[in-house]
Amino acid sequence: MVDTTVAAPGLRQIGDSRFGQLAKKAAPGLSFVVPNKLGRVVSIYLDILQGKGSGTGWDMSGEAVADSSVLRGIVNPVILDGGANYGQWARALDAVLIGREATYFLFEPQRACQEALSQLNMQNVTVVEAALGEKPGEVVLSADVPGSAVASVYERHESYFGDVSAHHERVAMVTLDDTIIDHKIDRVDLLKLDIEGAELTALKGASKSLSSGVIRAVAFEFGSANIYSRTFFRDFWDLLTPFGFRFARVLPGGRLLHIKHYSEEHEHFRGVSNYLTRR
């Protein structure tokens, strides 16, 4: 991973600097100009350059390049894809891993997606027709339409996607620990979680696999859906760092911004940000 972390100075340090004094003097006038559509667009774009909110699928190839970095030197990687949808991420990653025989386990509870996954032109694919959670059972998915990329176990009404609760579907739920045992998986080189706010509960359902070292790297999304699951970036940090995982945020183009320390600035709920962790 490329470590491009720069320690952010505190607000007090900025305010005490010469630049800070000038900025405070200019603030009253600028406050009438900046909070408009142009200011909002600039703010969103600057966030995206830092990887905040840049994981909405518009740079899937860059995301796959970043995620593949944890698989270097592994000839036959084992990959678990939580929230496979129609296999977009799996296909992108497989294209990056060309020449290597990867084994994929694709978790997808939506019936509209399952047939398409079974017909993917990829080798060594097992489709697990269930959602991921902390405990096995059943759950109701909410979505805008069948097969939606934003289907969630939570009813969502955020401004970014609008109302995504028009369609409901009762599906099976499994845990990662049970699946790893059932399929006799001795290692997971990469676990990807894109399950619309339920990523933390899926990781809680993998407590044995995390503590034993079976799961070696985790790629997960964090963003607007976490408002509805009431989870914070801090929760992921506190869960994974005791197991020796190091964090990085995926930047546009597939570069990685290594995160050495937790900061409240990572609690970014606009859009979706992609994170990659590894031991």
Helix (H, G, I), strand (E, B) or coil at 50: coil
Residue 177, amino acid: D
Helix (H, G, I), strand (E, B) or coil at 217: strand
Mean pLDDT of 25-51: 79
Q: Round to whole Å and give the CA distance between 126 and 120.
A: 11
Lowest mean pLDDT among 29-43, 132-146, 152-166, 168-182: 29-43
Q: How many other CB atoms are there within 10 angstroms of residue 145's CB atom?
A: 12
pLDDT exceeds 50 at position 33: yes
Q: Round to whole Å and give the CA distance between 29 and 36.
A: 14
pLDDT exceeds 60 at position 84: yes
Q: What local confidence, expressed as pLDDT, does residue 36 receive?
A: 73
What pTM, to 2 d.p., does this model score?
0.88
Helix (H, G, I), strand (E, B) or coil at 121: coil
Contacts of 164 (CB under 8 A, 6+ apart): 142, 143, 144, 148, 150, 151, 152, 155, 156, 157
Q: Round to whole Å and give the CA distance between 126 and 119.
A: 11
Q: What are phi and psi of 63, to 5 degrees?
A: -60, -45
Q: What local confidence, expressed as pLDDT, does residue 15 receive?
A: 59
Q: How many other CB atoms are there within 10 angstroms of residue 44's CB atom?
A: 15
Q: What is the pLDDT of residues 127-146, one digit of tens each?
A: 999 999 999 999 999 999 99
* Percentage of residues of the chain with pLDDT beyond 90: 70
Q: What is the pLDDT of residues 9-20, one digit of tens each?
A: 555 555 567 877
Q: Round to whole Å and give the CA distance between 113 and 86.
A: 5
Q: What is the pLDDT of residues 231-279, one digit of tens each?
A: 999 999 999 999 999 999 999 999 999 999 999 999 999 989 999 999 9
pLDDT exceeds 90 at position 23: no
CATH class, domain 50-278, is alpha beta
pLDDT exceeds 70 at position 58: no
Q: Round to whole Å and give the CA distance between 211 and 7.
A: 31
Domain residue limits, the chain: 11-48, 50-278
pLDDT exceeds 50 at position 224: yes
Q: How many other CB atoms are there within 10 angstroms of residue 241's CB atom?
A: 13
- What's the first-to-final CA gap in the chain, in angstroms? 12
Q: For residue 193, list its beta bridge partners.
A: 82, 220
